[in-house]
Amino acid sequence: MIELKSIYKSFEDKDVLKDISTQFQDGITNLIIGQSGSGKTVLMKCIVGLLVPEKGEILYDNRNFLAMNKKNKILLRREMGMIFQSAALFDSMTVLENIMFPLDMFSKDTLRDRIKRAKFCLDRVNLMDAQNKYPDEISGGMQKRVAIARAIALQPKYLFCDEPNSGLDPKTSLVIDELIHDITTEYNMTTIINTHDMNSVMGIGDSIIFICDGMKEWQGNKDEIFTATDKRLNDFIFASDLFRKVKDVETHHAE
């Protein structure tokens, strides 16, 4: 479990995060949603330690990340996996080498075992055929799947996904969402997903927090989101005609 306690972060004069407190549970997909510029990416960067908040506590299973020394922070980071918006694959390495990389750096297994583990991860994301290709030779969706395979190679306890569906078509987005959800359940990880894709919200939103202007505006799950009364949340969620119609149907159905 990851717990945030009163996180504050500002850049020069602008307060980007204001008093964010929440908990992210194990074995479920925890979504952070919000408009572009609402502070969700900054929040995720603070959680993983790429940015340091001015105030607050970040507890990884009751271990205070911000109070840790450098060595312990590095050790904790080895329990994390992250999928970036751009996949962030190393373009000088093949797909298999990308997945092997964290194993080469941290695993004490033999080369044969490392290759076996990398191939297992690759098979888990259905990309065995692409193992010898370079990232620029595969599609965006495949790159995201390689990023997932790389993230789970060391069997992390915490998985972070920064807009994993960005730039993908709805069908591929669905595949990625399902994969992340299945892996989360399978490894009982604490998974945090940063998104503004409403299909993801409706599909895998086991737990959702809505960030607006740097503050936590609402918390709930995908079933509660339809009946939420928060005006800002409704403005965000039902901004498109499609979701307004879905809400009407759902409300009508409930009546």
Partner 1 sequence: MIFKALNTLGQYLILMGRVLSKPERLRVTMKQYLKEMSQLGVNSIGIVLLISFFIGAVICIQIKLNIQSPWMPRFATGYTTREIMLLEFSSSIMCLILAGKVGSNIASELGTMRVTQQIDALEIMGINSANFLILPKILALVTMIPILVTFSIFAGIIGAYATTFSGSVINAEDLTFGFQYSFTEWFVWCGIIKSLFFAFIISSVSAFFGYTVNGGSIEVGKASTNAVVCSSILILFSDIFLTQLLTK
Q: Minimum CB separation from partner 1 for residue 80, in Å?
A: 6
Q: Minimum CB separation from partner 1 for residue 48, in Å?
A: 6
Q: Minimum CB separation from partner 1 for residue 225, in Å?
A: 29
* Cβ proximity to partner 1, 187 vs 226, nearer residue: 187
* Cβ proximity to partner 1, 86 vs 199, nearer residue: 86
For residue 180, what are the contacts with CB-CB under 8 A and spacing of at least 6? 29, 83, 148, 159, 161, 164, 191, 193, 204
Strand, helix or coil for residue 228: coil
The Cα 114–Cα 221 span in angstroms is 38
* Cβ proximity to partner 1, 73 vs 245, nearer residue: 73
Name the residue type at position 184.
T
CA distance readout (Å), 219 to 15, 125, 158, 230:
21, 31, 20, 10
Q: Answer left, alpha or beta for residue 81, where phi above 0 means left and psi between -120 and 50 means alpha.
A: beta
Cβ atoms of residues 189 and 183 within 8 Å: yes
Q: Answer left, alpha or beta for residue 38, where phi above 0 means left and psi between -120 and 50 means alpha.
A: alpha
Task: Count, in order, helices (H) and strands (E) of the chain.
Answer: 9, 10
Q: Minimum CB separation from partner 1 for residue 134, in Å?
A: 14
Q: Minimum CB separation from partner 1 for residue 74, in Å?
A: 4
Report CA Rg, the chain: 19
- Residues within the interface to partner 1 (CB under 8 A): 48-50, 73-78, 80-82, 84-86, 88-91, 102, 104-106, 160
* Cβ proximity to partner 1, 12 vs 255, nearer residue: 12
* Cβ proximity to partner 1, 150 vs 216, nearer residue: 150
Q: Minimum CB separation from partner 1 for residue 222, in Å?
A: 27
* Cβ proximity to partner 1, 64 vs 251, nearer residue: 64
